[in-house]
A and B are shown apart, each in its own frame.
Chain A
């Protein structure tokens, strides 16, 4: 955690609004208060970084590494698989929900809204418990409708919950993106004699995709981070393997490694999204 800078107002403002009106004052040279604060803060981060590296070096243990590195890798694969399947399933599910949200029928609209509200209004952890342990206590009922084979497996329960959860978020992203494309676009397309399908593919989706790209990327990142809780329902994802390693070794470096891996994948994903966005919006750049 960083120390907050000592003064709130002063260091933050851009270097405009100085004493003279024009031209803006040149960037301050030498040690301004902002620079001192910045250097101190960077020093703090450097200490955290060096401390972490030293800690990892000091607790380096070949035996531990050869034993747990493959497990971390398999945990990471489980995490990736879980997130990939859930996000894709959620994407499919989100289409009817988003359409439902835009439906003219009041009943469908309310149903879709309730769905979205429920999954966005309750913690993923509580949803996961509800599905796994809650449905686990309803085995006879589930057996009588022939669904128990599915909810019997923790892995399916996790995918089920995560898909339903991300579907609610993705539906809202989709709806927002579609609504961001103005009515005029539809009208212009129809004036040009494009069919509805053509309009959707050629006019609406390319524009909506630009708007939706970043939120979709963020949703994937949120799912990667959120998936860490499946460890609690016996799925050995990256977090699960971490907890297992820690409960065996009581060595805190197990958590540090997990933190580095999570940071790494999230950061990689973020950079990829930035790159795609820059590519897609190159026609908008002046």
Chain B
């Protein structure tokens, strides 16, 4: 099967005369991130990347003695872009899922995540009854998958980025937004999110976040794993955690 697939792809590729950029060397690590996922990775007004993922990535790179460069990429295309070699690792709050694991290799988790609903304070939104309710999610996330699997009767609205889902929650286009606990926490405590609050308990709490690298790059996975252990030990991780969240995000 696999071989046929290679040949098939090869035939199509051989037929495509394409502009090809330069090959990339390995000594510099390029980190792919989204840049629209506060407080994990987002752009400031001056166009700088900031956030938990970014700080963790910087700490890991320092630990590994690698020179890191960030590349922003829209969420929808982030795995194809990794496979295509636009960057060498994804540090963008990516949940480890079986489907993704088939496409990429993951490091050990660098934090744990759960999903939670957010809705306007005055709304009576009950996570156990979302039939016919418009629920906003970011497309291609585990939140989108979760709604599809568990709430087939909800009206799923998928947005290219998390920020657009919230914008439509505050103007009433969707009745609730399901997303990672960390981002929802930051948002409801921000000025924009003051309209809204958590609704119900967290769902899907067995979710872990890892760093994705291309399939078969075991050495890079090992280096990342060692670096994660190191920053856990030397207190850098705790420092970054504290900077963004008043709770422990790592989860044992």
Name A's B-contacting residues (CB within 8 A). 1-3, 44-45, 47-48, 50-52, 54-55, 57-59, 133, 136-137, 139, 152-154, 232, 234, 240, 243-244, 247-250
Name B's A-contacting residues (CB within 8 A). 1, 4-5, 7-18, 76, 79-80, 99-100, 102-103, 139-140, 144-145, 157-160, 164, 167-168, 171-173
Return chain A residues, CB-CB under 8 Å to B14. Answer: 47
| Closest 9 A/B residue pairs (Cβ) | A247-B140, A51-B11, A51-B12, A54-B8, A55-B8, A58-B5, A58-B4, A139-B171, A234-B157
With A137-B171, A139-B172, A234-B157 in contact, is A55–B139 under 8 Å at CB?
no
Assess whether B171 is in contact with A244, with CB atoms less than 8 Å apart.
Answer: no
A-B pair count, CB < 8 Å, reads 81
Assess whether A54 is in contact with B4, with CB atoms less than 8 Å apart.
Answer: yes
Which listed residue (B5, B10, B13, B158) contacts A244, Cβ 8 A?
B158
Q: Report the separation of the CA atoms of residues A50 and B171 in the bound assembly, to the nearest whole angstrom.
A: 50
What are 22 A-B contacts with C-beta separation under 8 Å?
Answer: A1-B18, A44-B15, A47-B12, A48-B11, A52-B12, A54-B8, A57-B8, A58-B1, A58-B5, A133-B167, A137-B167, A139-B171, A152-B173, A234-B157, A234-B158, A234-B159, A244-B139, A247-B144, A248-B99, A248-B140, A250-B79, A250-B99
A283 to B: closest C-beta gap in Å: 45
Q: Report the separation of the CA atoms of residues A47 and B160 in the bound assembly, to the nearest whole angstrom.
A: 35
Return chain B residues, CB-CB under 8 Å to A58. Answer: 1, 4-5, 8
Assess whether B7 is in contact with A152, with CB atoms less than 8 Å apart.
Answer: no
Assess whether B16 is in contact with A232, with CB atoms less than 8 Å apart.
Answer: no
With A137-B167, A139-B171, A250-B99 in contact, is A1–B17 under 8 Å at CB?
yes
Q: Report the separation of the CA atoms of residues A152 and B16 in the bound assembly, to the nearest whole angstrom.
A: 44
